[in-house]
Structure 1
């Protein structure tokens, strides 16, 4: 082991979207930021359908322009909303018709290329990213935190950060090392997914929207179809373990596609490309999002469910919220991470949770497919599904459970 302890103002674990945005925001403030990433980029990741709110956070970090400039060459698909299908009923939500201010369009992205684009942008702004560096231990100190790390050559070293941000996503490095993990209150679910050359010929199919498709018999099984601009698509199915059983991912996914007549016809000429994958028991939670010298970002803290593509939005919101607090902390100012980070972040997460839970019990599905929609209410719901789950001016955000329950009753009556 190299006995000389390296120093940084901020050490970030993970170079995914929240790590790249946090690093960009902090180097803009003049801080020495080192990002430790276990893998090499580009690398596969799930969470490919961004929400429009994401574009605000990317712009804030100076990363939006790079995404816009490379979108066409990387096959990113312009996205302006979401389409839903259930037993032959079709409906759409246009994100440009929303209650909240802010962008109404975004992209559907191949995460390997998207994440590398953001990481490269963070490096261009001055962040140091070390690939194939893994964090083995975290020791809290009086004036920061000491990390034990192995590099790409399996050489061990120590680096001390005045503050540490865990942006490790599903790796959940600090929750594991510091015993912060707690059980999610969501039922365990699995997902089978893969990339396909979709060969969709239906002229009515809108590639500018994610398609969320409900299983014809089981309301708590759903499919995603995320088109890219190069004729490929990410396709997945989500259900409980007993519903998906122990099928092989590709065989299981194809079997479920054939169970829905609309998807079966739409994707009749699909060709699988790349590896089919499974994620099992992905929902996660923690006992605390921060400590004296650390904070957890994005999926390292909590992951709900992929149904409304909230994961990347929550990750970027967490980076946007925490960066100015870390800046103040490093300047010796008093910072209240509970009041100014954990609670505000959780407010939006809880709003998403309301709609995700109601999706699975079928009540929000009844709202989505209700034919006589009030335009003002529609715009408030559209804003939430576009990622604006922190806009307390929206009554369906501020009182998410109460308002949604009332809406469900009206639709069902």
Structure 2
């Protein structure tokens, strides 16, 4: 089959990581093609951004677009995270974090947000093509050959390098047999959007609310408000807790009714989207890069939605890969292992430790112990805000040891009360 066109870089996927990577590269003068299987806008979860994301949005020259259209698109200002468990409240104000950098961000409907970023990528000069599906990838000494199918038929494109930003689609891991089972438990999420009708004056719309199930502490709920009076609401737990014989809507209603605080808060809520479910979303791979490719964000490893780390990891990986690839294309020597894989993994491992200790309840106890402002709370707050690569933070630099010591302190305090 003849090659249709040639590019410096082909990016698979037009979501946040693909848009950020493509925008950085095209502004550095490279010819970039973005291939997206879906038509935008399209529904997606991962709606509560972390402040660390703002650095990469700004780097990609997208910040003005996001800020200027935030109100029109229903983006909700976000300044922290709130937690609730059996009558206990614990709030984290991101402006009081340990790390430098942005302390606020937005909670976004991903359909609008992703389209905004993709549109901006196109404005900056990238070639973005929707409803195009990558069906095969081959490599030779000079280039990567990407086979793409759309309504008009099949085409082939050449590129010096491929960035896989396909998210849950995990295009290159599937095509190149790179997939590994995740070390995390198999969990299910059931979720939808609601017209919330919340009239409780104590409810803070500027924060994501994470609520622990009153009886099973490894089940939790997210409540993500938007500025138009709607929310994203979902429940997450081990697959063993979900009745496969029930519809998604029945499961959703069942779990909402089990948490009295949320049931009261959302007593006037009405569903505005179908109830959806997602299962087996955690993933891992044998390698994050090869001679002519690198995996970004969820295409490489996805952990769990509990701390909203997905988009942050995706954008961090996009920035790392795009800047490293720019050097490589200019003829500089680079180390994808040290400068990309090891760098990215350092922060992912911090998030992973937090996820695992959340489900074994150790981190839950720490979070609900931290009621007053102090240095430790500021350091934990930084990680919750996405600054998982800040080596100045002791809970990043020595995550397991510091976390274990903190758990012991909290337990001793509880025993002495």
Superposition TM-score, scaled by structure 1 size: 0.98
Other-structure match for 1:56? 55
SS at match of 2:183: coil
Other-structure match for 1:387? 386
* Deviations, residues 257-287 of structure 1 (Å, cap 9, x unaligned): 1101101111111100111100011100000
Is the contact between residue 191 and residue 237 of structure 1 (CA under 8 Å) also seen in structure 2? Answer: yes
Aligned pair 1:136/2:126, yes or no?
no
Q: 1:172 pairs with 170, 178, 187, which one? A: 170
Is the contact between residue 166 and residue 294 of structure 1 (CA under 8 Å) also seen in structure 2? Answer: yes
2: distance between equivalents of 1:95 and 1:301? 28
Is the contact between residue 6 and residue 158 of structure 1 (CA under 8 Å) also seen in structure 2? Answer: yes
Is the contact between residue 79 and residue 94 of structure 2 (CA under 8 Å) also seen in structure 1? Answer: yes
2: distance between equivalents of 1:43 and 1:254? 25
Taking the TM superposition and a 5 Å limit, the aligned residue runs for 1:244-393 are 244-246=242-244, 247-370=246-369, 373=372, 375-393=374-392
Deviation of 1:325 (Å) = 1.0
Other-structure match for 1:99? 98
2: distance between equivalents of 1:86 and 1:4? 58
Is the contact between residue 3 and residue 158 of structure 2 (CA under 8 Å) also seen in structure 1? Answer: no
SS at match of 2:303: coil
SS at match of 1:206: coil
1: distance between equivalents of 2:394 and 2:13? 35
Q: 2:182 pairs with 180, 184, 206, which one? A: 184
* Deviations, residues 267-324 of structure 1 (Å, cap 9, x unaligned): 1111001111000111000000000000000000000000000000000000111111
Other-structure match for 1:28? 27
Is the contact between residue 91 and residue 371 of structure 2 (CA under 8 Å) also seen in structure 1? Answer: no
Q: Aligned in 2, Cα 1:354/1:47: closer, same or farther, shift over 3 Å?
A: same
2: distance between equivalents of 1:97 and 1:162? 44
Runs of 4 or more, structure 1, over 4 Å off, are 371-374
RMSD: 0.9
Deviation of 1:108 (Å) = 0.2
Other-structure match for 2:197? 199
Is the contact between residue 10 and residue 161 of structure 1 (CA under 8 Å) also seen in structure 2? Answer: yes
Is the contact between residue 108 and residue 226 of structure 1 (CA under 8 Å) also seen in structure 2? Answer: yes
Deviation of 1:372 (Å) = 5.7
Aligned pair 1:208/2:206, yes or no?
yes
SS at match of 2:305: coil
Q: Aligned in 2, Cα 1:282/1:385: closer, same or farther, shift over 3 Å?
A: same
Deviation of 1:164 (Å) = 0.3
2: distance between equivalents of 1:4 and 1:18? 27
1: distance between equivalents of 2:370 and 2:55? 32
Is the contact between residue 194 and residue 250 of structure 1 (CA under 8 Å) also seen in structure 2? Answer: no
Deviation of 1:249 (Å) = 1.5
Gaps of 5+ in 2: 413-417
Is the contact between residue 95 and residue 382 of structure 1 (CA under 8 Å) also seen in structure 2? Answer: yes
Other-structure match for 1:73? 72
Is the contact between residue 131 and residue 152 of structure 1 (CA under 8 Å) also seen in structure 2? Answer: no
Deviation of 1:329 (Å) = 1.2
2: distance between equivalents of 1:147 and 1:291? 15
2: distance between equivalents of 1:26 and 1:231? 37
Is the contact between residue 370 and residue 377 of structure 2 (CA under 8 Å) also seen in structure 1? Answer: no
Other-structure match for 1:232? 230
Other-structure match for 1:84? 83
Other-structure match for 2:37? 38
2: distance between equivalents of 1:236 and 1:249? 11
* Deviations, residues 91-148 of structure 1 (Å, cap 9, x unaligned): 1000010010000000000000000000001110000000001000010111221011
State how many pairs are aligned: 411
1: distance between equivalents of 2:372 and 2:411? 12
Is the contact between residue 93 and residue 382 of structure 1 (CA under 8 Å) also seen in structure 2? Answer: yes
Deviation of 1:64 (Å) = 1.1
Other-structure match for 2:159? 161
Is the contact between residue 54 and residue 313 of structure 1 (CA under 8 Å) also seen in structure 2? Answer: yes
Is the contact between residue 196 and residue 270 of structure 1 (CA under 8 Å) also seen in structure 2? Answer: yes
Deviates more, 1:47-56 or 1:139-148: 139-148
2: distance between equivalents of 1:309 and 1:75? 19
Deviation of 1:245 (Å) = 2.2
SS at match of 2:353: helix
